[in-house]
Amino acid sequence: MSKGGGKTYRPWEPERYRQDAHSPAAKLPEGDLVFFLLDTVPQLELSRFYAPYEHETRGAPPYDPAMMVCLLLYAYCVGVFSSRKIALACERNLAFLAIVGQERPDFRTLSDFRKLHLEAFKEVFVQVLRLAAAAGLVKLGNVSTDGTKIQGNASRHKAMSYGYMQKAVERLREEIEALVTQAQQRDESDDAALGSRRGDELPAEFTRREDRLARIEAAMRRLEARARAEADTECMRRAAAEVERKRTGKPRRGQGPKAVEERPADKAQSNFTDPELHIMRTNNKGWDYCGNAQASVDETCQIILCCDVTDATNDKQQAEPMARATLASLSQAGLASPVDDTGTPEAIVATLDSGYYSEAAVSALESLGFDPYMATGRQRHHDDPEGPVPQEPSTAQERMAAKVRTPAGKALYARRKVIVEPVFGQIKEGRGFRRFLLRGLKNIRGEWRLVCLTHNLLKIWRYGRVLHAV
């Protein structure tokens, strides 16, 4: 079978599988998810998936990329994420057989395909968002953004603190020096005994310690670079706060702040399995190496408009990047902002929790065309959102608190917890995605995009079934 250029691929004929005597179509429900995907995937533009194979002439014909895309999408939809489990399901599960037929890729092929094409799924995400909008599932009435911590593929036992690294480096250097001295003494004795004949190589302990020393020193450099970046950020924050203090004329209270420390704290940690992840506070385990997965969700049918993963331990700096990413995703999908009766574009309502609030975040969202509603502090259950608000708010924080306390503000902000938070429950509890399989921030961003893309596909399928039933 040839697609696009002259490359030949292994045949993929899902229609023929349906006509077999014991075909999946005869056993599975008529409106099963697998048939929805088999009808949807051929409509997608997948040329980017075919491109890497078009000029490769070696080896046997590869599996049809459309089949591999369909297989990965279905697997992620039903909560099968491991390449080994997907390969096993292709031999035993009727719905998986409806996709692959007799062409059953092994786990290594599946794993390599996923890693190779993570970036290509960006285009699929946009196409699926366009399909959701065409089905009437996106209205841009209230876009809610939130984050959730998802465990990384990194062990807490494969980490080391900066203070311990310093001790380990000193100890390893002493051990290496002792081994070198021992090797020199052995060389002298071997020369005396063997003459010009070759003796043994340096002991393996020497190489092992040198490798470990290099890894620890690299981890120390990462922590030092991170500490310098955090120190620069803190200096900028203090400078801005000082400018604001002088502008308002408020006197400085108490002692002046301590000098900014550019050296990492002794307790600062780095992980050797996945150095790009940071240790974060989690709800159930206390602390773990995680990615901070972000999602902006439309109110109408909980369609994810854009997604990202950051290594930041909180959401303080994520409001503006997520707003820009949302606009970019909407633009790529051909979706325009809502308009009023006169045809004038309206600001998109954006609801975010207190973790995103800052004066800069509010200003940035407003400049980008959003109408933000943010809690300015943590709320207690059954209490008013912000407590008493001055009659004439004077600061940006007080103005936002007053905005959220209005009847319209309360109604809009109350919707946040039923827009974005259930999405994380559907992904983590419903489909069981609680840990990234890949390593490296770029790869886990691609994996999270694949998870969010399949969330949207499930919404289109389920709401389509409801519409057909009506």
- Segment 402-421, tens digit of pLDDT: 999 999 999 999 999 999 99
- 248 and 286 housed in the same domain: no
- 193 and 339 housed in the same domain: no
Domain end call among 271, 303, 330: 271
- Rg value, the chain, Cα: 28
Tokens describing residue 313: 């331990």
Identify whether 285 is part of a domain.
yes
Identify whether 173 is part of a domain.
yes
Identify whether 5 is part of a domain.
no
- 309 and 359 housed in the same domain: yes
- 292 and 363 housed in the same domain: yes
Is the model's pLDDT at 247 over the cut of 90? no
Is the model's pLDDT at 2 over the cut of 50? no
Give 18 or 107, the one with higher predicted confidence: 107
Q: Phi first, then psi: what are they for 271, rounded to 5°?
A: -100, 135
Cα separation, 147 vs 437, in Å, equals 19
Identify whether 405 is part of a domain.
yes
Q: What is the pLDDT of residues 205-239, one digit of tens each?
A: 667 777 777 777 777 777 777 777 777 777 877 77
Identify whether 344 is part of a domain.
yes
- 41 and 58 housed in the same domain: yes
The string of DSSP codes covering 345-375 is BPPEEEEE-GGG--HHHHHHHHHTTEEEEE-
Is the model's pLDDT at 138 over the cut of 80? yes
Cα separation, 70 vs 457, in Å, equals 12
Of residues 111, 103, 34, 97, the one with CA closest to residue 62: 103
Instruction: Identify the DSSP state of 20.
Output: S
Per the prediction, the chain carries an average pLDDT of 83
Domain end call among 210, 236, 271: 271
3-state secondary structure 229-278: HHHHHHHHHHHHHHHHHHHHCCCCCCCCCCCCCCCCCCCCEEECCCCCCE
Q: Residues 195-200: what's their mean pLDDT? A: 51
Identify whether 412 is part of a domain.
yes
- 245 and 306 housed in the same domain: no
Is the model's pLDDT at 308 over the cut of 70? yes
- 137 and 218 housed in the same domain: no
Q: According to the model, what pLDDT value does residue 386 have?
A: 47
Domain end call among 244, 271, 298: 271
Cα separation, 18 vs 26, in Å, equals 8
Q: According to the model, what pLDDT value does residue 275 have?
A: 79
- 425 and 307 housed in the same domain: yes
Residue span of the structural domain in which 164 resides = 159-271
Domain count, the chain: 3
- 163 and 299 housed in the same domain: no
Identify whether 296 is part of a domain.
yes
- 172 and 263 housed in the same domain: yes
Cα separation, 236 vs 230, in Å, equals 10
Identify whether 2 is part of a domain.
no
Q: According to the model, what pLDDT value does residue 178 have?
A: 77
Cα separation, 344 vs 347, in Å, equals 10
Of residues 360, 355, 350, the one with CA closest to residue 323: 350
Of residues 134, 384, 422, the one with CA closest to residue 299: 422
- 135 and 62 housed in the same domain: no
- 201 and 290 housed in the same domain: no
